[in-house]
């Protein structure tokens, strides 16, 4: 039975957590517009200043394996982006597309599968503007495709421990292997992806009619002829690629001031290159680096499946890419989102301090008798609690607050129930991100990327997301819950 801390500690700890929550959910509040990252650090500092948690305990609460895995995954993602991985995904979306409905289905499937391997946030960052261009080229509304991208990224990321941050936390705390996690959630993910796609098609069926690719290409050719432009700018439409990518292909051989290709994977630094390495042709070197990036990434996934330490496997992969690149790694390391790592550090301290107040445990003690996972009613209550908390306190803090309590309650039933409770927490907390625009970072990334797009910018509003997000989240969550843990290895 969890005991409450003294009243002053409970009040001050709750106040510090409230400040963190407010800035995490609403990072631009008028009276304190310091953002999420600074808000997480402020919450951590308040926990220490209020003596809710000691400095030593605060340092100990920072989960270095998770931070290491996040850092290494971002480095690997940067090299994969440089190797053209996401351009290939974009080409797959556009290849022989048969209209708006077909394109929407492709966005859902490709995004979900890619998010399971390359994290939902990374996929949303890279694919948003490309999806906007595909929709604009076919005279289709942007909103259905942005919703498809965001919601499918969240659903797809639920299938693996590396799909999103909360799954990383669950994988480390539960000691569930990569394959156990994958096969435990895979049926729910596939069903959820299918249901979410059908709901999008039903809601936007008429809006997705648009013009066929041939009609759009013919119209562009007529416009080019009328304006006296070269029809080469519209050939990309016949091939299923965007004008931007066509222009990029035409400029492949443009060189920068140093005499090297402008689209090289990383910026050149002549002083760091070995003479024998310079003797290789640039094209061969780039091909080797791209191939190596794919090979070591596959090796990293195989290592996960074999049960090797996920954090050090990812760090080893990242360092291998840096070393083989044989250049100053600073340009690549500059692309790492250090603000996200700082945010996580502050959040770990803040959540640990809030747990020390005893309040989360006391609330769970009250709800635990009604949330047993060996009964349908218990699973329903537990899922609703996770769903609400994930949208009120965000999904990662929810996992940190509830994970151990839910697992301890399930341990009184059976060992299998413990595994299923962790998987259930992963599934519901991840899909809960689709409820509203503020539900997950992936949603916010899609919104901001679409709003700031240089071409075909679109503003995805809070309410336009809620209209689809609420029914989709409830239906997808409900359909996936019975399938959680049905396949075991």
**pTM of model > 0.75:** no
375 belongs to a structural domain: yes
How many domains would you assign to the chain? 1
Residues paired with residue 261 on neighbouring β-strands, in sequence order: 255
Residues 94 and 241 sit within 8 Å (Cβ to Cβ): yes
Domain that holds residue 20: 7-58+355-483
**3-state class of 255 per DSSP?**
strand
pLDDT at 153: 94
342 belongs to a structural domain: no
Locate 452 and state its tokens: 């700031």
309 belongs to a structural domain: no
26 belongs to a structural domain: yes
402 belongs to a structural domain: yes
Name which of 133, 247, 189, 163 is nearest 484 in CA terms.
189
| Sequence-ordered alpha helix ranges (H) in 334-440 | 338-356, 359-367, 376-392, 395-411, 415-431
30 belongs to a structural domain: yes
pLDDT at 279: 55
Give tens-digit pLDDT for 144-155: 999 999 999 999
pLDDT at 137: 83
Q: What is the mean pLDDT of each run of 10 residues along the chain (489 residues)?
A: 82 93 77 85 95 94 85 85 76 75 91 87 79 85 92 94 89 90 95 96 86 53 50 40 40 40 39 52 82 91 85 92 89 84 89 88 83 88 88 79 88 90 94 84 78 72 86 95 78
Show contacts of 185-188: CB within 8 Å, 24+ apart.
Answer: 185/158, 185/159, 185/423, 185/426, 185/427, 185/484, 186/159, 186/487, 187/483, 187/484, 187/486, 187/487, 188/158, 188/427, 188/479, 188/480, 188/481, 188/483, 188/484
176 belongs to a structural domain: no
24 belongs to a structural domain: yes
């Amino acid at each position: 039975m969890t005991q409450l801390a003294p009243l002053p500690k409970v009040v001050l700890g709750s106040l510090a957590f409230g400040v963190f929550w407010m800035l995490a959910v609403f990072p631009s509040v008028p009276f304190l517009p310091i953002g999420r990252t600074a808000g997480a650090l402020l919450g951590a500092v308040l926990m220490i200043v209020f003596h809710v948690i000691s400095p030593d305990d605060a340092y100990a609460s920072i989960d270095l394996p998770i931070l290491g895995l996040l850092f290494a995954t971002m480095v690997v993602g940067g090299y994969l982006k440089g190797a053209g991985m996401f351009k290939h995904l974009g080409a797959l979306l556009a290849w022989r597309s048969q209209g708006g409905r077909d394109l929407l289905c492709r966005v859902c499937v490709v995004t979900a599968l890619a998010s399971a391997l390359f994290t939902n946030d990374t996929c949303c960052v890279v694919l948003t503007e490309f999806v906007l261009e595909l929709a604009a080229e076919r005279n289709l509304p942007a909103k259905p495709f942005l919703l498809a991208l965001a919601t499918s990224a969240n659903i797809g990321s639920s299938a693996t421990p590396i799909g999103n941050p909360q799954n990383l936390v669950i994988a480390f705390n539960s000691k569930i292997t990569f394959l156990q996690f994958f096969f435990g959630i895979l049926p729910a993910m596939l069903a959820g992806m299918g249901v979410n796609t059908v709901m999008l098609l039903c809601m936007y069926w008429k809006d997705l009619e648009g013009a066929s690719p041939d009609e759009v290409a013919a119209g562009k050719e007529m416009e080019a002829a009328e304006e006296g432009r070269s029809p080469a700018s519209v050939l990309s439409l016949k091939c299923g690629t965007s004008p931007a990518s066509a222009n990029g292909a035409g400029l492949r051989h443009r060189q920068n001031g140093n005499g090297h290709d402008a689209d090289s994977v990383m910026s050149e630094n002549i002083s760091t290159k070995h003479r024998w390495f310079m003797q290789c042709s640039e094209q061969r070197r780039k091909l080797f680096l791209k191939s190596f990036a794919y090979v070591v990434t596959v090796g990293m996934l195989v290592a996960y499946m074999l049960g090797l330490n996920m954090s050090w496997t990812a760090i080893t992969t990242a360092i291998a890419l840096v070393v083989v690149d044989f250049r100053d790694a600073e340009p690549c390391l500059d692309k790492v989102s250090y603000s996200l790592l700082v945010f996580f550090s502050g959040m770990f301290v803040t959540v640990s301090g809030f747990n020390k107040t005893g309040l989360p445990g006391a609330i769970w003690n009250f709800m635990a008798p009604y949330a047993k996972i060996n009964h349908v009613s218990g699973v329903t209550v537990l899922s609703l609690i996770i769903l609400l908390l994930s949208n009120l306190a965000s999904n990662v803090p929810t996992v940190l607050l509830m994970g151990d309590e839910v697992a301890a309650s399930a341990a009184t039933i059976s060992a299998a129930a413990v595994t299923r409770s962790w998987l259930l927490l992963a599934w519901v907390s991840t899909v809960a991100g689709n409820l509203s625009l503020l539900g997950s970072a992936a949603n916010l990334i899609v919104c901001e990327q679409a709003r700031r797009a240089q071409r075909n910018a679109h503003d995805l509003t809070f309410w336009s997301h809620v209209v689809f997000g609420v029914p989709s989240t409830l239906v997808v969550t409900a359909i996936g819950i019975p399938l959680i843990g049905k396949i075991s290895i």
